[in-house]
Amino acid sequence: MSDTAAPQSLYIDGKWVASSDGGTRTVTCPADGEVVDVVSEATAADTEKAIAAARRAFDEGSWSATPAAERGDLLLKVADAMAERKDEFARAEALDTGKRLVEAEGDMDDIMNCFRFFGKIADQHPGRLVDAGNPAVISQVVYEPVGVCGMITPWNFPLLQASWKIAPAIAAGCTFVFKPSELTPHTAILIMDVLDKLGLPAGVGNLVLGAGAEAGAPLSSHPDVDMVSFTGGLVTGKKIAEVASHTVKKVALELGGKNPNIVFADADFDAALDNALNAGFLDSGLVCSAGTRLIVQDTIRDRFVDELVRRAEGIVLGGPFDEKAESGPLISEEHRAKVTDYVKRGVEAGATLRCGGDWGGPELEKGCFYRPTVLDNCTLDNPAVIEEGFGPVITVESFSTEAEAVATANHTEYGLAGAVWTSDRGVAHRVSRALRHGTIWINDYHPYVPQAEWGGFKASGNGRELGHAGLEEYREAKHIYENTEPAVTGWFPEK
């Protein structure tokens, strides 16, 4: 980007443009506070322009009429183009988020898999015939694209969360306006560059960068947007659903989680311990499905928690390119202040701070680091157990019976994910079915595959991403009833 001219990082109607008022935002790396870049900051009017472009491109009809197999091919090409530029994508993600490069590289692999999955299923299940009970009738259900989609995404897995929306929207024949988090815009710019170079028709995909209340708001309020798909926090999600209700648009929400990680005494101790660290502290706990509620059987509780604390104290923090680092920073000072307050309130409510609860040593002071934290002796009414802290903080509760483990794990307004650790497969499957959460791991934590649906029960959201349901979110079912032998009905006989 030039230092003098306003950056042109909005992609509207097939062109890279500056914000209409010349506004910009400086993006910094949360690991060291260094400036990454200056990008355009869209106004609400810019977003309205992008919506108009997406509306025109959809209403013209040529994109939705493009054979689904061709749209699928485009997605496969996106994955190939990303593979060629993987290093560039991963470095951009690492600099914006501060996460370790190796984690960003893993995210890029997941993103390519997502594009490939939706590329392959784009032309599957085009519709079905149904039996109307009359041989003269051909009754078919076909699937149409929903239309213009607004997509709003968070900063923790910036391009990954976006790919779960962009890939199925393209597969379904929708057009879209995408607003990533204002804190992490760079992989959004890169993916639109890929789509532009691959010849996505003008107006089909649009990118606006900027703050939620300004650049994002029209995506939930504007009557020309048919669907808003949001991933982010519960408070914002509720606001978006409320505003969207005025135009009765389709709403898909992927919100937060307060995810139980249940460890029975008969589990493989070392694997359960290692994965408890991974569940809570991977990516600094900045994972919607992070296993932040450790619920451990009372007979192994003390030994398990002592070991967890010992191992958590040894986790090395550092920036994206620090090869010794095992975990990175939080996203901003503002976010670190929230995590600090969350831990403080947890301790005030009776939790025991076993480790962490501070910002780390002087070598970390330029970044937004927060030490892996364990809050022991937590009760169901402790705010640290109730609220999503969204940081590297594990709360510890214990149980004696299977029924108690299930009741404790379900005692949350959220329902995104959870895990059960046991060597008894009967227990594992009973508990898995009883948990009111959208993803359950048995003797594992975190893996997911694009073929399987992802989403939340209860306040963790509605709708599903990934899997076949992830494509259905972007399609409307339509029933076409054809009578091949038209006849008078006789309801209103001629008099």
Name the site residues for ligand NAD (rule: CB under 6 A).
152-157, 161, 179, 181-182, 211-213, 216-217, 220, 231-233, 236, 239-240, 254-257, 288, 388, 390, 416, 456, 460-461
Among candidate residues 42, 83, 47, the one with its CA nearest the CA of residue 194: 83
Alpha helices in 23-85 (DSSP H): 44-60, 62-65, 68-84
What's at 438, amino acid-wise? G
Q: In the bound complex, what is the minimum distance in angstroms from residue 459's beta carbon to ligand NAD?
A: 11
Distance CA 425, CA 77 (A): 42
Q: In the complex with ligand NAD, which residue's Cβ is closer, 257 or 318?
A: 257
Q: In the complex with ligand NAD, which residue's Cβ is closer, 376 or 388?
A: 388
Q: In the complex with ligand NAD, which residue's Cβ is closer, 97 or 297?
A: 97
Q: In the bound complex, what is the minimum distance in angstroms from residue 237's beta carbon to ligand NAD?
A: 7
Catalytically active residues, by annotation? 254
| Per-residue DSSP letter, 89 | H
Region of residue 414 (left: phi > 0; alpha: psi -120 to 50; beta: else): beta
Q: In the bound complex, what is the minimum distance in angstroms from residue 460's beta carbon to ligand NAD?
A: 6
Q: In the complex with ligand NAD, which residue's Cβ is closer, 205 or 216?
A: 216
Q: In the complex with ligand NAD, which residue's Cβ is closer, 99 or 354?
A: 99
For 298-337, give one letter per residue: b (16+ CB within 10 A) or e.
Answer: eebbeebbebbbebbeebebbbbeeeebbbbbbbeeebbe
Q: In the bound complex, what is the minimum distance in angstroms from residue 396's beta carbon to ligand NAD?
A: 21
Q: In the complex with ligand NAD, which residue's Cβ is closer, 69 or 235?
A: 235
Q: In the complex with ligand NAD, which residue's Cβ is closer, 25 or 301?
A: 25
Among candidate residues 218, 121, 215, 103, the one with its CA nearest the CA of residue 167: 121
Q: In the bound complex, what is the minimum distance in angstroms from residue 193's beta carbon to ligand NAD?
A: 20
Angle at 437 between CA 98 and CA 313, to 5 degrees: 40
Question: Hey, CA dihedral for 251, 252, 255, 257, is it positive or negative?
Answer: positive
The first and second tokens of residue 217, run together, are 């708001």
Residue nearest to ligand NAD (CB): 212
What's at 82, amino acid-wise? M
CA dihedral 433, 436, 438, 441 (to 10 degrees): -50
Q: In the bound complex, what is the minimum distance in angstroms from residue 77's beta carbon to ligand NAD?
A: 26
Q: In the bound complex, what is the minimum distance in angstroms from residue 2's beta carbon to ligand NAD?
A: 26
> Is-contact 72 127, C-beta < 8 A?
no
The neighbouring-strand residues paired with 148 are: 175
> Is-contact 158 95, C-beta < 8 A?
no
